[in-house]
Amino acid sequence: MKNLLFAISLLLFSNAAHAALNVFACEPEWAALTQQLAGDKASVYTATTALQDPHRIEARPSLIAKARRANLVVCTGAELEVAWLPVVLRESANGAVQPGGSGYFEAASVVHMLEVPTRLDRGAGDVHALGNPHIQTDPRNFIPVAEALSQRLIQLDPANAATYRQRFADFSQQWRAAIAKWELQAAPLKGVAVVVQHDGFPYLNNWLGLHEVATLEPKPGMEPSAAHLSRVLGSLQQHPARMVLRAAYQDERPSEWIAQRAPVAAVELPYTVGGSDGAGDLFGLFDDTVARLLKGLQ
């Protein structure tokens, strides 16, 4: 009996000793960043994969069960997860991770948002009142997010503050060096005209100086129709583009349709960690994104 109790307590507490924090990350990029900043101090669960549209996730029982056990929820925010996260958090009945509390972190809250609509009207499609939520396509956004997230980890787990500080300092240094490298590699992309499938790349465009000339979705969140694709094709006669960009989770048919009819290259970008074989971690995500864009130029 004594042995059994010992075994049980070992099982319970050894787990706790290895990973102090149970983290529920909405998207793979925030899971990767949290792991980068917390190392073995956190056990991170990722609610979505790179092949899933983060707008269209259901409040599945498994997500509710994971949120129930979480100490920290790390999400994009800016209404990206509005269709499912509120239900998950409410049903989880976990007081620690409710919005407004210290166990709830939104990356978009510390990033300079682009495309904040001046007109909130669904006639314009599924617009996000707080701006375009796809902030993870600009690596520069990861610096303020990492800093705020690191602060949050310290607040929740002060015993390991030194580790979090050290890991943030290391990440910050490596990341800044990597950004400089990517910007150098991506210099030929400056001013290149591109078409995008979903309005999901303003941060990438802003970072690399890509020039967006058309969108395949007639309005954000609406599927590209044949009529709209024909119009885009027509407009490409006057404003030619070099590439048509889409995220790994998006249907390839609209981009391929355009690529077959106009002299543009269809480029699938990983969009987040796990979106391609090369995008195994945060560094790989941008290595691969830049490489694929450069390949699209050829």
Partner 1 sequence: MFHRICSVTALAVALCPPASAAEVGESAFNPAFSLILSGSYGSLQRAPAIPATGFAMNPNPGHEQGFNLGESEMGISANIDPQFRGTATLALDPAGGISVENAFVQTTALGDGFNLKFGRYFSGLGYLNELHAHAWDFSDQPLVYAALWENQLGEDGLQLKWLAPTEMFVEIGGEVGKGRGFPGSDRAKNGSGAGVLFVHAGDDIGIEQSWRAGASLHRTRRVDAESADVPDLNGNAVTNLFSGDSQTVGLDLVWKYAPDGNLRNSYIKVQTEYFRRKESGELSYDTVGANITDSYSVTQSGWYVQGVYQFMPRWRSALRYDQLDPGSAKVGALNAGNVIADYAYHPTRTTWMIDYSPSEFSRLRVQLAHDRSRQGLTDNQLFVQYIMSMGAHGAHQY
Helix H, strand E, coil C: the string for 190-232 is CCCEEEECCCCCHHHHHHHCCEEEEECCCCCCCCCCHHHHHHH
Applying CB under 8 A, the site for partner 1 has a residue count of 63
Among 19, 39, 91, 143, binds partner 1 (CB under 8 A): 91
Tokens of residue 212, six digits: 């967006």
Q: Exactly one of 30, 142, 249, 283 binds partner 1 (CB under 8 A); which one? A: 249
Closest residue by Cα to residue 78 from 23, 31, 136, 36? 136
Binding segment toward partner 1, per CB under 8 A, in 2-10, 35-43, 161-169, 248-256: 248-256
**181 contributes a contact to partner 1 by CB under 8 A:** no
Among 125, 158, 234, 240, binds partner 1 (CB under 8 A): 125
Binders of partner 1 in range 38-77 (CB under 8 A): 48-49, 51-53, 55-62, 64-65, 68-69, 77
Residue 123 to residue 121: CA distance in whole angstroms: 5
Nearest C-alpha neighbor of 245 from the set 259, 266, 263: 266
What's the token pair of residue 214? 């058309």
Residues 241, 215 contacting (CB under 8 angstroms) = no
Q: Is 131 in the site for partner 1 (CB under 8 A)?
A: yes
Contact flag: residue 188 with partner 1 (CB under 8 A) = no
The answer to the question of residue 111 lying near partner 1 (CB under 8 A) is yes
Select from 24, 30, 84, 271 the one that contacts partner 1 (CB under 8 A): 84
Contact 171, 146 (CB under 8 A): yes
Query: Which residue is associated with the tokens 């976990």?
Result: 94
Residue choice 40, 155, 209, 223 for contact with partner 1 (CB under 8 A)? 223
Task: Identify the residue among 78, 192, 196, 285 touching partner 1 (CB under 8 A).
Answer: 78
Residue 134 near residue 27, CB atoms below 8 Å: no
Query: Which residues in this chain contact partner 1 in the complex, by CB under 8 A?
Result: 48-49, 51-53, 55-62, 64-65, 68-69, 77-79, 82-87, 90-96, 98-100, 104, 106, 108-113, 116, 118-122, 125-126, 129-131, 133, 219, 221-223, 249-251
